[in-house]
Amino acid sequence: MSLAVQGSLFDHDERRNLGAGAWIDVRAGWLNGWLDEGGTLFDELLEAIPWRAERRQMYDRVLAVPRLVSFHDLTAGPAPHPAIARLRRRLNDIYAGELGEPFTSAGLCLYRDGTDSVAWHGDTVGRSSTEDTMVAIVSLGARRTFAMRPRTGERSPGSPGRHHRSLRLPQGHGDLLVMGGSCQRTWEHAVPKTARPTGPRISIQFRPRDVR
């Protein structure tokens, strides 16, 4: 598999400042320059990744996590697929200077259908409450909504629990979404369930050390 991505995709024309030091880069079709039209990487990862189901304590019950996952520390062992290693190198070329450190891990999630999801959260585990970080997410497969909302701030009048600045970002095959600055501390993100028929999606999350 060769890597030949257009340099024009790596400027910050797609950057959106969210306030309080938070920003996102949204790059639709980022992988179109090096993924074949048949999308074989999705099929290869579906077979090659050691997917596992998790269960978590939720109040007084232990529930199944509604997606399959696989986490890889790329400083401690090889990537589970050559494309993961190439993606990490390319993203480090683009963002490590701004981040001040490299991406060191790849976390993969398999959303099998619209009933799989991830709840509101920020990737702050392992970092201080004042430390900025960056998370890069590559999407493969079916289009799903990536939702974001501020952790604090004004709520919409007459709509308790709803933020003025909440975002719903459609993420399709080959798209790249990068959350940087204070985003993990000041915003939350989620992949909500959907009742509409949808196929499987794989997300690949690249994070620096100690971030989960």
Between the CA of residue 88 and those of 57, 98, 204, what are the distances in Å?
32, 15, 10
Assess contact for 24 and 177: CB atoms under 8 A.
yes
SS3 202: strand
Where are the strands (E) in the chain, listed by range? 15-19, 22-27, 52-58, 61-73, 105-111, 118-121, 135-141, 144-150, 167-171, 176-181, 187-191, 201-207
At 85-144, the pLDDT tens digits run 999 999 999 999 999 999 999 999 999 999 999 999 998 766 666 789 999 999 999 999
Q: Is the pLDDT of residue 82 over 60?
A: yes
Residue type, 38: G
Instruction: Kindly give the pairing relationship between strand 176-181 and strand 167-171.
Output: unpaired
Q: Would 158 be classed as within a structural domain? A: no
Q: Would 1 be classed as within a structural domain? A: no
The rounded distance, in Å, linking the Cα atoms of 118 and 81 is 24
**Token representation of residue 113:** 């259908």
Q: Would 5 be classed as within a structural domain? A: no
Of residues 150, 145, 140, 149, the one with CA closest to residue 116? 145
CA atoms within 13 A on the CB side of 46: 14
Q: Would 27 be classed as within a structural domain? A: yes
Assess contact for 111 and 200: CB atoms under 8 A.
yes
User: What value does the mean pLDDT of the chain take?
Assistant: 86
pLDDT-based confidence at residue 35 (cuts at 50, 70, 90): low
Domain housing 57: 14-153+164-207
Q: Would 68 be classed as within a structural domain? A: yes
Q: Would 136 be classed as within a structural domain? A: yes
Question: What does the pLDDT average to over 145-160?
Answer: 69
Q: Please, which residues bridge with residue 136 across strands?
A: 178, 206
Instruction: Tell me the whole-structure pTM to 2 decimals.
Output: 0.86
Q: For the chain, what is the domain count?
A: 1
The rounded distance, in Å, linking the Cα atoms of 126 and 124 is 6
**Token representation of residue 43:** 């099929």
Q: Would 3 be classed as within a structural domain? A: no
pLDDT at residue 131, as a whole number: 85
Q: What is the CATH number of the domain that holds 57?
A: 2.60.120.590
Q: Is the pLDDT of residue 167 over 80?
A: yes
